[in-house]
Structure 1
Amino acid sequence: MKREEVKNLMYERFIEPTKLKKDVFVGVELELPIINLNKMAVDLKLVHELTVKFKNYFDFKVKARDENDVICALEDHVTGDIYTFDCSYNNLEISFGKEENLYPVKERFEEYYKFIQDVLNKENHTLTGLGINPYRKYNKRLPVPNGRYRMLYHHLCLYKKYGDEISFHDMPEFGMFTSASQTHVDVNFDNLIPALNAFSKLEPVKAILFSNSVLNGENMELACSRDMLWEDSMHGYNKKNIGMFDTLPQSTGELLEYLLSTSIYCTEQEGKYINFKPTVVTEFFKKEKVNGEYFEDGKYHEITFKPKKEDFSYFRPFKFVDLTFRGTIEFRSVCCQPVNETMTAHAFHMGLINQVDEINQILDEDTVLFNKPYSLTELRKIFAKSYFPEFVEKSELKKLLIKILDLASESLKERGNKEEKLLNPLYKRAKSLENPAQRLIKHLNSGGKIEDLIYEYGRL
């Protein structure tokens, strides 16, 4: 397939859907770690029993089963809510059908959460609001037994083959112990590039407000270790697939050119999930043959296959601010938040999605964080740490954070749903300059126990 054909596919998949967008809806995806308080591996039998009880109580329908015929996904056909697991059965995921108002999502989440906790707590298990499972070392490294997650884990484990090319970490199972809070917001064509730019600039600010993934006992310097875990894995083999934009795109043409320089690493042909060395998407479709691997009969087999047009549906970058095929921007960089502050990130994004000109103006004029000799990527890395650099004037930083939150709050007030109240915890974080990760690190460094915050961050 020629480059122009790939470019047309890219346009149809990612740009064209934004032309159909008028109203702004929000989609919320919440991942929460499951913890066995006995400091043992999560009891998977209990998890599967929970799924059946959840199905029966909320009248969800079975959406998918794993290869052992165990239910791994449920769906409510009325709300569009989905109960499932991300990467492993240690990481519960609840995705909510699109809504105009965040409060119905909040109410349903709280109802689901109370039910799930009641089942888990009876067996000394719990959910909590931490972006890294603090008991990850006790859990088994087992992906959900289906084609997609087995392929993904196998792909991430291949980092050793390319260790001379890139410096990788040695935690390919990170998807099984990291939990995120992701937001999808509708974006229209005219607002697409300004929105991508504005929210890309906000990533260092979001690191300050939302970091909550500490590898306790391993790298206490990082408040948002999720960034590192993604970037220094096989997902980051091509650095353009993850993290920040190197240079902010100024047009849809520049955005398309950027996407054409990102890589594809998997597909499905003839019922087989196949992974292969990450290959720039335009180069992939030029090839007559591609060498890959697939799983069958308990082991991996080598395969040579011819790229097909249909393989393009398996192409997906993992940027912090990602354009999806649904005509939405997906915000992927926020860690799972303390449970009683779950909706903060979604309110933040909803409040600012129609304020992109104002955001750009504030940040273009700022001298507290921006307009310094650091790229956006460097700023995100600086503020994903547990401490602030010397160049930051903290009193001025507080003012900047509050100015951004005020902008979000005013926008939410105009919507008339009282969603601005969901931002209140962020004002506290801005005034104290302390995010959940920094609070956890301070607690541990002062001799506190991780269990204290497992309970506190898991409290509704």
Structure 2
Amino acid sequence: MKRDEIKNLIYKRYIEPTKLKNNVYAGIEIELPIINLNKKAVDFNLIHELTVRFKNYFNFKIKSKDENGKICALENLKTNDIYTYDCSYNTLEIAFGKEKNLYTVKKRFEEYYTFIQDILNKENHTLTGFGVNPYRKYNKHLPIPNGRYRMLYHHLCTYDKYKNEKKLHEMPEFGMFISAAQIQLDVKIDDLIPTINVFSKLEPLKAILFSNSVLNGENLELACCRDMLWENSMQGYNEKNFGMYDPIPQSIEELIEYMLKTSIYCTEHEGKYINFHPTVIPEFFEKDKINGEYFEDGKYHEITFNPKKEDLNYLRSFKFEDLTFRGTIEFRSVCCQPVNETMTVHAFYFGLINQIDQLNQILDEDTTLFNKPYSLSELRKIFVKAYLPEFIEEKQLKKLLINILDLASEGLKERGNTEEKLLKPLYNRAKSLENPAQKLIKHLDSGGKIEELIYEYGKL
């Protein structure tokens, strides 16, 4: 397949849908770690029972089952909410149908959460609000037994083959103990590049406000270890597939060229999920044959297949501002938050999405963080750490954060739903320059028990 044909495929799949957008809706996804307070592995039998009871109580329908016949995803046909598990049965995910009003989502989330907690608490289990499961060392790190998640875990486990090429950590199971708060927002084609640009500039500041991923017991210098876990794994084997745009595309043509540099590592042929060596898109489509592996009858088998244009549907990039085939940008760099502050993430984005020009002006004029001898990627790496660097003037940083929160608040006030109240915890974080991860690290350093924050971060 020629390069221009591939570019046209990318345009049709990712750019074309943005031409159809008129209003901004949000698709909110909340992932939450499940904990067995007995300091044992999560009881999967309890989780399967919970799923059935949730289905019956809220009138959800079965969306999919795993290969053992256990329900792994439910859907409400009225709201389009999806109840599922992310990578393993150690992490619950609730993905809400697209909405305009954040309080509509908040109300449903609280109803679901209260019901789930009531069932889990009776068996000394709980949900909580951490970006890394604080009891991960007790859990069974087994992928959900289905094609997609088994393939993903198998792919991550191939890191051992590439140690000499790239610095890779030895935690291929990381997807089974990390949790995020993500949002997809509709974007119009004229706003696509400006939105990617300005929200990319925000990434260092988001690390300051939202970091909540501490690898308890190791890497305590990191307040947001999720970046490291993704980047130094097979998901980051090709750096273009993960994290920041570097450089940030300045036009749709540049965005397509950037996407051409990303890699494909999986597909599905004849009902078989296949993974293979990450291959840059043009090189993938130039090949007559691709060698890969698939799972069947309890073991992995080698397979050779012919690339086809539909394989592009299996491109898996994990950019912090990720353009999807739905005509949305998925914002995916934020950790799961303490439960009673989880809507801060979505209010932050919703408040700023229609304030692109004003936000750009604030960031372009700033000298506290920006206009210094650091790239955006370098700044993000600096600010996912637990402690602020010496070159930062704290007073000016607080002012910058509050100016951005004020702009988000104005954007929410214009919507007329009083959603600006959801930003209050972020003002507190900006004034104290303390995110949930830093609070946890200080708590542990002072001799506090993690169980105290498991309870606190899990309260509605």
- Which TM-score band (shorter chain)? over 0.9
Output the aligned Cα RMSD. Answer: 0.5
Q: Distance in 2 between matches of 1:308 and 1:24?
A: 34
Is 1:279 aligned to residue 268 of structure 2?
no
Name 2:422's counterpart in structure 1: 422
Q: Distance in 1 between matches of 2:316 and 2:232?
A: 18
Q: CA deviation at 1:310?
A: 1.3
Name 1:253's counterpart in structure 2: 253
Name 1:61's counterpart in structure 2: 61
Name 1:134's counterpart in structure 2: 134
Name 1:443's counterpart in structure 2: 443
Is 1:298 aligned to residue 304 of structure 2?
no
Name 1:2's counterpart in structure 2: 2
Is 1:75 aligned to residue 75 of structure 2?
yes
Name 2:146's counterpart in structure 1: 146
Name 1:243's counterpart in structure 2: 243
Q: Distance in 2 between matches of 1:69 and 1:130?
A: 30
Gaps in structure 2 of 5+ consecutive residues: none
Name 1:109's counterpart in structure 2: 109
Q: CA deviation at 1:309?
A: 1.3
Name 2:160's counterpart in structure 1: 160
Name 1:393's counterpart in structure 2: 393
> What SS does the corresponding residue of 1:78 show, helix, strand or coil?
coil
Counterpart amino acid of residue 75 in structure 1: E
Q: Detail structure 1 runs of 4+ shifted over 6 Å in the superposition.
A: none
Is 1:346 aligned to residue 340 of structure 2?
no
Counterpart amino acid of residue 59 in structure 1: N
Q: Distance in 2 between matches of 1:350 and 1:56?
A: 33
Q: Distance in 1 between matches of 2:316 and 2:228?
A: 19
Q: Could you list the per-position Cα deviations for residues 359-386 of structure 1 after superposition, in whole angstroms to 9, with x for gaps in the alignment? A: 1111111110101010000000000000
State the identity %.
76
Name 1:336's counterpart in structure 2: 336
> What SS does the corresponding residue of 1:266 show, helix, strand or coil?
strand
Q: Could you list the per-position Cα deviations for residues 309-343 of structure 1 after superposition, in whole angstroms to 9, with x for gaps in the alignment? A: 11111013110111111111100000000000010
Q: Distance in 1 between matches of 2:80 and 2:46?
A: 25
Name 1:411's counterpart in structure 2: 411
Counterpart amino acid of residue 264 in structure 2: I
User: How many residues in Structure 1 have an aligned counterpart in Structure 2?
Assistant: 460
> What SS does the corresponding residue of 2:77 show, helix, strand or coil?
coil
> What SS does the corresponding residue of 2:118 show, helix, strand or coil?
helix
Name 1:16's counterpart in structure 2: 16
Gaps in structure 1 of 5+ consecutive residues: none
Name 1:209's counterpart in structure 2: 209
Q: Could you list the per-position Cα deviations for residues 84-143 of structure 1 after superposition, in whole angstroms to 9, with x for gaps in the alignment? A: 000000000000000011001000000000000000000000000000001001111200
> What SS does the corresponding residue of 1:267 show, helix, strand or coil?
strand
> What SS does the corresponding residue of 1:368 show, helix, strand or coil?
coil
Q: Could you list the per-position Cα deviations for residues 181-216 of structure 1 after superposition, in whole angstroms to 9, with x for gaps in the alignment? A: 001111101111000000000000000000000001
Name 1:233's counterpart in structure 2: 233
Is 1:358 aligned to residue 355 of structure 2?
no
Stretch moving more, 269-278 or 309-318: 309-318
> What SS does the corresponding residue of 2:310 show, helix, strand or coil?
helix
Name 2:97's counterpart in structure 1: 97
Q: Distance in 2 between matches of 1:279 and 1:440?
A: 40
Q: Distance in 2 between matches of 1:253 and 1:361?
A: 24
Q: CA deviation at 1:80?
A: 0.5
> What SS does the corresponding residue of 1:294 show, helix, strand or coil?
strand
TM-score after normalising by structure 2: 1.00
Q: Distance in 1 between matches of 2:418 and 2:307?
A: 50
TM-score after normalising by structure 1: 1.00
> What SS does the corresponding residue of 2:255 show, helix, strand or coil?
helix
Name 2:265's counterpart in structure 1: 265
Q: Distance in 2 between matches of 1:87 and 1:386?
A: 27
Q: Distance in 1 between matches of 2:61 and 2:396?
A: 51
Q: Distance in 1 between matches of 2:413 and 2:453?
A: 32
Q: CA deviation at 1:448?
A: 0.2
